[in-house]
Amino acid sequence: MAAQSKVAFVTGANKGLGFETAKGLGELGIAVVMGSRDEAKGRVAADALRSAGIKSVESVRFDVTRPEDHREIARYLQERFGKLDILINNAGVHIEKADFGNPNGFNTTSKTTPEELHQTFETNFFAVVALTQTLLPLLGKAPAGRVVNLSSVLGSLSLHSDPSSPIYDKKSFAYDASKTALNAFTVHLAQELRGTRIKVNSAHPGWVKTDMGGEAAPMELSEGGKTSVQLATLPDDGPTGGYFHLGQPLPW
């Protein structure tokens, strides 16, 4: 399938990791639809990509927590393209107060409120599941559908329970648990879709200098979209149901 005929939808695409992912896909000649809660900021982001030489890019107002927006984007993609090749579930939130740059670590578990848990899971898990389910029929119309769920190494139970791991003393409970749940969705959906042309994988972008990651992060923003782009463009014999960072598998 020619790259020029592929269509990708990226949520939370007007800045940060979403913007870098949209840019990386656009540079490959893939038509990119950028979802943004703020319509004006989305237009600015799309204009920036066009100025960078990416020809096929557009922005739509999209809030991942609104079911009506799920239905509207499905209608739009069907009428505009008739299919969807790539879904990047990038939009996410981190609500708890956690100092990611603290060398002594942090643990928010005993202080995390029910409201923080509900708000975090609504965006990072429940909305992702609902949107993916809504768009699966369009992904099924593509010659090679790809779903990329933006997870985090902080969703790894194996690493969180290992005292020798680099994240052992970095525990932001609501955020971490939402990404663990998202990883479970990846595994379950990939198994259900085995034998189809759709691949589903979780991506850890790395600790990146974003609004969430902060200036202490070792990776530049320009590197942040690379894992998502890799998983979005996997060949037919590529993996599904996996958890990766820059091509390397992570422990669940």
Would you please indicate which residues are annotated as catalytic (active-site) residues?
A: 175, 179
CB proximity list for 141: less than 8 A, separation 6 or greater: 82, 83, 84
